[in-house]
């Protein structure tokens, strides 16, 4: 019995516009066959081990012919693999979803259609153009620009309104940049007024979105002068005038900024999402991967003698996760911390401990090793024993500071940082297009970034880095390697980093 093929609409570009069902299917699929305009961010939802197959179609370049693609879907399903066919926009709106569904039906392969948010409505909305509006437009026509309008005069005439057939108030032409001149000429020929408002929206719902406004008479020249690039859609009708009051994407404070996020893969999503919501184009390249510390013997010894310690100090949420991971083979868990006083370097680390039902005794006001030493300074610590759990490469500031306060400190590394295998290639690709600012959240992050750029044979780029730093220690590392700190967080947190980036953007406008 063949598995099911799901024809899933990926939406117009913004990964947040994928439907909930579409995301759930991506998380379950054995095979994902995706289009050129399906965001890379959507593929992050694929489960580990899922086969990803590119089936994009660009002008003059098709990864598969349509018959070959149909056969691919049938073959994978008959092999017992659940398939998601991820298509830009909506599968049944100029997406050949109907052809693929017919091919599956003919092959007796079960299929389901998961509609997507269509660019015909979403892209104008992101440009501040409602396709209908009371008193202005109550009807909508959607046409494709892939076909020469001159070859289908009936369709163009109906869209414009001739021979007593009422015209649609709003016309949306998808994929119409290459035939823009012919489309506008056909609309004028069939009765649309030259002064009819028109807009061309490039890269709609993407941070690269750009909108050019004119009339049917002027829009072609305006697009040529602005060098508008595909993908783009044309909107024609009086609703275009509403853009003057309703445009909102361009008002976002980071609109048009290209920002590189270098946090570890499992922690990058939150920062990337916040920056994207503010309008930035975010490229995520983790410069750090985590691996177990070189030896676990010190941890095993500390866990066995946990009752000897008065305090246990965690300096990152990752430390808590590695504590659990290393304790599990020893048939232990966080209950081993019972009766110990706990300290956390910042609110995220404290929240991670509290989520496991643990009380946190100390959280500093300044989220750094120096801040944690200062927070301990108000307590009587002489003769107390502390277990410090952190990264193998962590600075020794905290251990030295606690010893200066009279504590007996045992430092046990739980994990170490490594350079991701694909970092060099990813950095080469990322910097092929100008990057406005790079976010860095640790000195080690900076060191790996510079190392990766040198491996990519871009040492000059390392000296030209413009960085947004999470705090003074990280900033010092940037300057040590010759980079420039454009923004520094006032508090060492994601909120502080985002606020610093917003201040930088206001200054540089």
Query: Residue 35 catalytic?
Result: yes
Q: Which of 87, 169, 175, 444 is catalytic?
A: 175
User: Backbone dihedral region of 278: left (phi > 0), alpha (psi from -120 to 50 degrees) or beta?
Assistant: alpha
Residue with tokens 């209950």: 335
412 neighbors 398 (Cβ within 8 angstroms): no
| Structure tokens given for 271 | 């920062």
CB-based contact 375:345 (threshold 8 Å)? no
Task: Read off the DSSP letter of residue 47.
Answer: P
Residue of 35, 238, 310, 499 with catalytic role: 35
Cα–Cα distance, 122 to 205 (Å, whole number): 7
**355-393 per-residue burial string, b: 16 or more CB within 10 A, e: under 16:** eeebebebbbebbbbbbbbebbeeeebeebebbbbbbbe
User: Could you give the CA distance from residue 42 to residue 24 in angstroms, rounded to a whole number?
Assistant: 11
- Asked if residues 415 and 294 have their Cβ atoms less than 8 Å apart, the reply is no
> Distances in Å between the alpha carbon of 396 and those of 124, 303, 311, 344, 412?
55, 21, 17, 16, 12
Q: Which two tokens stand for residue 233?
A: 């859609």
Single out the catalytic residue among 21, 53, 57, 499. Answer: 57
What is the rounded CA–CA span in Å between residue 383 and residue 400?
Answer: 15
275 token code pair: 């920056």
8 Å CB contact between 389 and 323 = yes
- What is the C-alpha to C-alpha distance for residues 217 and 221, in angstroms, rounded to an integer? 9
Closest alpha carbon to 290 in 419, 412, 394, 455: 419
CA distance 119 to 14: 10
Residues known to be catalytic: 35, 57, 175
């Amino acid at each position: 019995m063949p598995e099911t093929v799901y024809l899933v609409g990926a939406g117009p570009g913004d990964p947040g516009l994928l439907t909930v069902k579409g995301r759930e299917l991506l998380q379950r699929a054995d095979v994902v066959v995706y289009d050129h305009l399906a965001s890379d961010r959507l593929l992050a939802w694929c489960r580990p081990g899922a086969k990803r197959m590119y089936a994009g179609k660009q002008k003059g370049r098709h990864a598969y012919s349509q018959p070959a693609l149909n056969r691919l879907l049938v073959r994978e399903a008959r092999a017992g693999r659940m398939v998601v066919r991820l298509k830009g926009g909506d599968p049944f709106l100029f997406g050949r979803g109907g052809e693929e569904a017919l091919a599956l039906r003919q092959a007796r392969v079960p299929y389901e259609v998961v509609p997507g948010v269509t660019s015909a409505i979403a892209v104008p909305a992101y440009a501040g153009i409602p396709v209908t509006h009371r008193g202005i437009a109550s009807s909508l026509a959607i046409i494709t620009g892939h076909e020469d309008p001159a070859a289908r005069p009936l369709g163009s005439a109906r869209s414009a309104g001739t021979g007593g057939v009422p015209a649609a108030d709003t016309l949306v032409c998808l994929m119409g940049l290459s035939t823009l001149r012919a489309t506008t000429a056909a609309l004028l020929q069939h009765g649309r007024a030259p002064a009819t408002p028109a807009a061309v929206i490039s890269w709609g719902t993407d941070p690269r979105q750009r909108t050019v406004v004119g009339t049917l008479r002027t829009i072609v020249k305006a697009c040529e002068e602005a060098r508008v690039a595909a993908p783009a859609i044309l909107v024609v009708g009086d609703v275009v005038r509403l853009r003057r009051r309703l445009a909102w994407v361009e008002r976002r404070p980071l609109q048009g900024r290209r920002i590189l996020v270098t946090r570890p893969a499992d922690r990058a999503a939150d920062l990337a999402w916040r920056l994207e919501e503010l309008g930035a184009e975010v490229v995520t390249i983790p410069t750090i991967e985590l691996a177990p510390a070189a030896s676990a013997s010190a941890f095993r010894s500390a866990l066995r003698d946990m009752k000897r310690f008065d305090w246990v100090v965690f300096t990152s949420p990752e430390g808590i996760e590695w504590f659990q991971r290393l304790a599990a083979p020893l048939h232990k868990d966080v209950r081993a911390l019972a009766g110990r006083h706990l300290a956390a370097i910042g609110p995220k680390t404290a929240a991670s401990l509290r989520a496991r039902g643990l009380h946190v005794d100390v959280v500093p006001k300044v989220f750094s090793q120096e801040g944690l030493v200062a927070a301990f300074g108000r307590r009587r610590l002489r003769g107390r024993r502390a277990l410090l759990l952190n990264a193998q490469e962590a600075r020794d500031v905290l251990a030295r500071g606690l010893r200066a306060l009279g504590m007996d400190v045992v430092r046990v590394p739980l994990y170490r940082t490594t350079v991701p295998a694909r970092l060099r290639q990813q950095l080469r690709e990322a910097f092929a297009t100008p990057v406005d600012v790079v976010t860095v959240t640790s000195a080690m992050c900076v060191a790996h970034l510079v190392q990766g750029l040198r491996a990519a044979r871009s040492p000059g780029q390392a000296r030209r880095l413009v960085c947004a730093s999470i705090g003074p220690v990280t900033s010092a590392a940037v300057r040590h390697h010759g980079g420039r700190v454009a923004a520094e967080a006032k508090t060492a947190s994601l909120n502080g980093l985002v606020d610093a980036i917003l201040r930088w953007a206001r200054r540089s406008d």
